Amino acid sequence: EVQLVESGGGLVQPGGSLRLSCAASGFTFSTYWMHWVRQAPGEGLVWVSRINGDGSSTSHADSVKGRFTISRDNTKKTLHLQMSSLRVEDTAVYYCASETHWAPDYWGQGTLVTVSS
Amino acid sequence: DVVMTQSPLSLPVTLGQPASISCRSSQSLAYRDGNTYLSWFQQRPGQSPRRLIYEVSSRGSGVPDRFSGSGSGTDFTLKISRVEAEDVGLYYCMQGTHWPWTFGQGTKVEVK
């Protein structure tokens, strides 16, 4: 059974940093593109970042470029999102997701990041 | 970025009756490999999104056959043949043809 379990969310002040993690199991993690998608309270889904199977290719949404960094550790089957210079508008539930057929397939349960003073 | 526009944004439904959601993209979603990367997601209250449909009309694993997708180019539709109580929630279309991926604003399906 495929499982994606996010962790690392919490309350952080504007300008602060946070590192999210996503532990994967039940599939060959290293062969899949992985993504972060976020959802602000009461809002829709927004794609944030992606990384290829061996970690050599990444991209980020313009809204987080230069502040967020996606990475992965295939030996530990874990995806990460390093977030810095956080803004109030980054407040959201952050989901990790695996990709098949050029779309998110399996999703984690999400981790809430709240940026507030 | 490609803008995805869903309608209606709110859809009151009667259990056992059909329902339909439209999704329109600001650019064609047909890719040069012959595929069209349009997906549909369901998000039940308090849950994570779940993929229902990929590449316009292919149902995901375990997705009931009352869900179907159709369309081409810039116009797409998700249909529920007979709405059940467990279908209540938000539905999103998403395009994967152009970077960055973009989602529709969501359609809230609720029982009348």
Shortest Cα distance from A114 to chain B (angstroms)? 17
Cβ neighbour number for residue B3 with a 10 Å cutoff: 12
pLDDT score recorded for residue A79:
98
pLDDT score recorded for residue B67:
98
Taking the CA atoms of chain A, what radius of gyration do you get in angstroms?
Answer: 13
Partner residue opposite B48 with nearest CB, options A44, A102, A110 = A110
Three-state secondary structure of A18-57: EEEEEEEECCCHHHCCEEEEEECCCCCEEEEEEECCCCCC
CA A96/CA B33 separation, integer angstroms: 27
Q: Which residues of chain B have pLDDT under 70?
A: none
- Length of chain A (residues): 117
Residue in A closest to B95 by C-alpha = A103
pLDDT score recorded for residue B99:
93
pLDDT score recorded for residue B16:
97
Pairing of strands A10-12, A68-73: unpaired
pLDDT digits 0-9 by tens, A46-101? 999 999 999 999 999 999 999 999 999 999 999 999 999 999 999 999 999 999 99
A9 touches B at CB < 8 Å: no
Peptide bond before residue B8 is cis, with ω within 30 degrees of 0: yes
Q: Round the average pLDDT of chain A to a whole number and report it.
A: 98
Burial of B14 (0-12, 13-18, 19+ CB in 10 A): exposed
pLDDT score recorded for residue A117:
96
Shortest Cα distance from B11 to chain A (angstroms)? 16
CA B68/CA B38 separation, integer angstroms: 13
Cβ neighbour number for residue A71 with a 10 Å cutoff: 14
